[in-house]
Amino acid sequence: MESKTQTNLQTTDRRRRILSVSIGLLCLLLFPALSFFLFEYVSGNPFLIPFWYIKWNIIWICLLYWILFALSGSSRAAIPAASALLFLISAAEAFVMEFRGFPIRIWDILSLKTALSVAGNYTFRISRQMAVSGVTLILANLLAWFFPIRLGNLKKRLAGLLGVSVLSVGAASYFYLYLVPHYHYGINMWDANETYRNYGYIFSTAVSIQYMFSRAPEGYSESRLQEIEEELADSEAPSVQYGDIQPVNLICIMNESLSDLHVAGDFTTNEDYFPFIHSMNENTVKGSLYVPVFGATTANTEYEFLTGDSMHIFPSGIVPFQIYVRNNMTSLVSTLKAQGYTAIGMHPYPGNNWNREEVYRFLGFDRFLDLSFYDSSDLLRNYVSDRSDYERLIDMVNAKTDPSDRLFIFNVTMQNHGGYGEASSNFNETIRLTGDLAGKYRQTDQFLSLMKESDEAFEYLIDYFSRCSQPTMIVMFGDHQPSVENDFYDDIPADPEKERTDEERLIWYQTPFIIWTNYPLPSRSSVRLSSIFLSSLILDRANLSKTPYQQYLLDMMQTLPVVNPIGCMDSDGEFHTWDSLEQADSPYHRLIMDYEYMAYNHALDSGTYTPLFTLRQNDQTP
């Protein structure tokens, strides 16, 4: 009888173990699907995604769970770790979509420090979807906790890791070598949100990895670069001289989010927010600058300005400051230093933002003054005001040992950074939308008030140097339009419901630029050009020497003044896609291909052909 009872107990115990293992295995198999649906519930809508894409989202999530399971040897570690990680990413994606308007991309990991440094200036609110998903995950994890699966000894764990590695390599090979090229899976870079909504976040992220690898333009070779250099030397013509003055002080200001939003549509305000800039007409060149980004990613406009390399040549979505800037890379900085200028970078925020400390050192800046230099400076909201920034800039000019010493200052402001809408005790907002838009857009009202502050600060700076005896050139431009309410941008066009073409989307990539001198300079207004051309135009107006590449850019600007990742515009205002320009029968084929060859060589080829990017010996200051 005892033997029979013991047998029954053993049978019951075995059944319990089988049931426990079965439930545990079921959790390990079903948790990836649960994570997918909760991820998309928080950051999107899982029920809008076609089944084919749902399947691949879950496959990638499965691999994450199983890799962690193989590494840890226990579902009690793997399931909570994987589910928590995916939940945190989904919450971060929801916040980023709210504040920035486009998804987190895989290369944004490299910008994590920058993102964390400004995160405190935004208001984070836990959504209902986050709360529901969080509670659901806790309950599901409690269930999985009571039915653990263990791999046991190290030998079993290594075997499990080997098996999941083989599965991962097989899935990745099939995905990237067959599915992606066969079905032409890709990210719609002009409306990435659409892609992420349709594909799902995980699948979109997997697809986006292909953009992290660059390819040389068709026909690229070192011999062609040598031919271009020889052609430029043979065709070199005397530069137009704008008088005989070269500025002793060359001050370039990239003003955070500086924008005249009237370029994007019609609206009215209670008063002009750019009265001084609009009044400038003496010794002034001004107009619209076409920049490569909208709403964020300041560093890409910064890169185009300093180097002349278009973001078009990079894998889409990349920030070159994080990856591609090398030691002793030539730029506007090296061109000016070769002509006797001391180069100083200024930025009233931590120097590690966008990797500037390292980048500025690689580009050859003699000093970089970050937030620590701005002690006791006045703040507007949570950032150093433009006025205080310019006061410190003036201090640097006045600190020169000899007034005739040449000084180049590149100043990147912070006053107008995103995070609009919250009232601040240190900021008196004076501008507001009127008419049909009155009271509708709190963020836009605050942004426009910040523009008035920037206008007044710029007037202060210009007034100071107009009384300075040292020949001075001051350049100011915006890095991108602001990330204010999306509905505002939808409200102001004449036809808000219209589906925008790539050409029409260029209105969102325009910011103002101004070149001013305190000595006679021929004035121009309504000038259109891209940020890749601005530094060459500055050198030209300053009567300074240019590298062959910079001279090529200056000449190219006369034919294709707008060169943007979206597309290009010729001097007659006709829009061209990059594909059409690169066709052999395009009248601009040779112009654009030679530019791409030089930009690729400068930015992405480890064997830079230096004669194109350095001054000739007789152009350098001894």
393 close to 348: Cβ distance less than 8 angstroms: no
532 close to 560: Cβ distance less than 8 angstroms: no
CA pseudo-torsion sign 61, 62, 68, 74 = positive
Give CA separation, 39 vs 32, 91, 112, 175, 248, in Å: 10, 8, 21, 22, 57
Ramachandran region of residue 138, left (φ > 0), alpha (ψ -120 to 50) or beta? alpha
Rounded Cα distance between 570 and 420, Å, is: 36
In sequence order, the β-bridge partners of residue 361 are: none
Rounded Cα distance between 320 and 303, Å, is: 7
Rounded Cα distance between 304 and 307, Å, is: 5
What are 429-483's pLDDT values in tens digits? 999 999 999 999 999 999 999 999 999 999 999 999 999 999 999 999 999 999 9
Rounded Cα distance between 10 and 122, Å, is: 60
What are 189-241's pLDDT values in tens digits? 545 677 888 999 999 888 878 766 778 899 999 999 999 999 998 876 555 66
**The pLDDT of residue 6:** 59
Domain boundary assignment for the chain: 2-212, 222-619
- DSSP classification of residue 324: T
**The pLDDT of residue 190:** 47
**The pLDDT of residue 389:** 97
- DSSP classification of residue 176: I
Burial 359-396 (b: 16+ CB within 10 A, else e): bbebbbbeebbbbebbeebebbbbbbbbbbbbbbbbeb
511 close to 262: Cβ distance less than 8 angstroms: no
In this prediction, the residues of the chain whose per-residue pLDDT falls under 70 are: 1-13, 100-102, 106-123, 188-192, 211-212, 236-241, 494-498, 618-622
Give residue 264's Cα distance to chain centre. 20
Give CA separation, 32 vs 54, 202, 368, in Å: 11, 12, 47
The yes/no answer on whether domain 222-619 falls in CATH 3.40.720.10 is yes
pTM for the complete prediction? 0.76
**Tokens at 376, concatenated:** 């006791």
Helical ranges in 418-567 per DSSP H = 442-466, 486-491, 502-505, 531-541, 548-559
The counts of H helices and E strands in the chain are 23, 13
